[in-house]
Amino acid sequence: MSVSSLKGGVGKTTVALGLASAAFARGFRTLVVDLDPQCDASTGLGAFGEFRETVADVLQNPKHNVVHRSIVSSTWGKVKSGHIDVMIGSPRSLQFDTPNPTIRDVWKLEEALSRVEKEYDLVIIDTPPSINGLTRTAWVASDRVLIVSEPSIFSVVAADRAMRAIEELRRGLTPRLEALGVVINRMRPQSKEHEYRAQELQELFRENLMTVKIEERATLQQAQGAARPIHTWPGDHARELANIFDEILEAALASFALPNEKRRNKTDKKMARISKIMRGQNLDAVLELESLKPMEFADAEPIISELPTEPSRPVDPKFLTPIEQLEALAFIELEKNSDQYKDKA
């Protein structure tokens, strides 16, 4: 699950760590991937110092040994027994945050996590506050995205942009991806402006807006500054916040329980194969091709019938994604005229 916002300063990392705390309190084997070059999630999990490998090395070379060396145990385990690890963030990951990533670029984290996902019950990815390469890399590797918003005009606009971008990526590349919803953070109940913007968010997102709101509390910053999970911090405010994060986690777990989630591994392996065929293509160029919107499966039968093997299917077997259409057409062209394969593909 990715925790994202397309606007900085809304407390995105705070929410990611709150969810990690909720998972830790429940005894889940949890991995937090710090994909934000500011590395605040790593700091909040007590991962200080120099490390041999970081998430930047993983994005450069997602091999098994590199992935494992980039993951360390959080110091949270010293406060309470449990299993929570962090894939160390790095300012060097900024080099991968390009505005025009290729499909190969955005598939790197998915490839890396496939090597360790059996070791964890939940993976939480803290993304940068932008829609560039790193955020879309996180989304491709995710089943769900939680969007964090403040009750302010700029955050409302950013949340709407994020929802649209998630849907575009879901339709074009990764059918299992869904928005978990929008959660309001740093809410001040006595502020008329906050109440107005919260109502605006409700009207805009309706059932996609979470009913819980995270109030602005110094307690959260204190716990994170001490590299402690909010569930172990003393005081009534800490307990209230812990209950809110428990509720958000519960909503995420309920969404993961949908029947099509059982098909994830099989689908992902096939989608990884597709990405190799299209690995050099610009992601935006593929998603923007009007002629390659998801097509009815029945209309695609003539394409499928010419293939030597049956192509992969998205989660919904009634449709072919743009990437699958390109794969099918590329194979057909290879069969007809191998000399022109590169140009046509």
Written in H, E and C, the secondary structure of 163-207 is: HHHHHHHHHHCCCCCEEEEEEEEEECCCCHHHHHHHHHHHHHHHH
The pLDDT score that the predictor gives to residue 312 is 46
Q: In angstroms, rounded to a whole number, what is the distance separating the alpha carbons of residues 129 and 237?
A: 27
Q: In Å, how far are 74, 220, 249, 326 from 81, measured between CA atoms?
A: 11, 21, 20, 49
The number of C-alpha atoms within 13 Å of 287 and in the hemisphere containing its C-beta is 19
What pLDDT, in 10s, does the model give residues 175-204? Answer: 889 999 999 999 988 888 898 888 888 998
Is pLDDT larger for residue 273 or for residue 22? 22
What pLDDT, in 10s, does the model give residues 148-178? Answer: 999 988 888 999 999 999 999 988 788 889 9
What pLDDT, in 10s, does the model give residues 209-233? Answer: 999 999 999 999 899 999 999 999 9
Given a cut of 80, whether residue 289 has pLDDT beyond it is no
Q: Would you list the domain boundaries of the chain?
A: 2-257, 263-344
Q: What is the pTM assigned to this prediction?
A: 0.80
Phi/psi of residue 90, nearest 5 degrees: -155, 140
The pLDDT score that the predictor gives to residue 122 is 96
The pLDDT score that the predictor gives to residue 315 is 36
Phi/psi of residue 285, nearest 5 degrees: -60, -40
| Tokens 């829609």 -> residue | 131
Under the banding of pLDDT at 50, 70 and 90, the label for residue 259 is very low
Q: In angstroms, rounded to a whole number, what is the distance separating the alpha carbons of residues 298 and 318?
A: 8
The pLDDT score that the predictor gives to residue 256 is 84
At 45 the three-state DSSP class reads: coil
The correct CATH number of 2-257 out of 1.20.81.30, 3.40.50.1860, 3.30.300.30, 3.40.50.300 is 3.40.50.300
Least confident span in 143-152, 163-172, 277-286, 332-341: 332-341
* Residue 324 contacts residue 274 (beta carbons within 8 Å): yes
What pLDDT, in 10s, does the model give residues 42-89? Answer: 999 998 777 889 999 999 999 999 999 999 999 998 888 889 999 999
Given a cut of 70, whether residue 284 has pLDDT beyond it is yes
Is pLDDT larger for residue 19 or for residue 105? 19
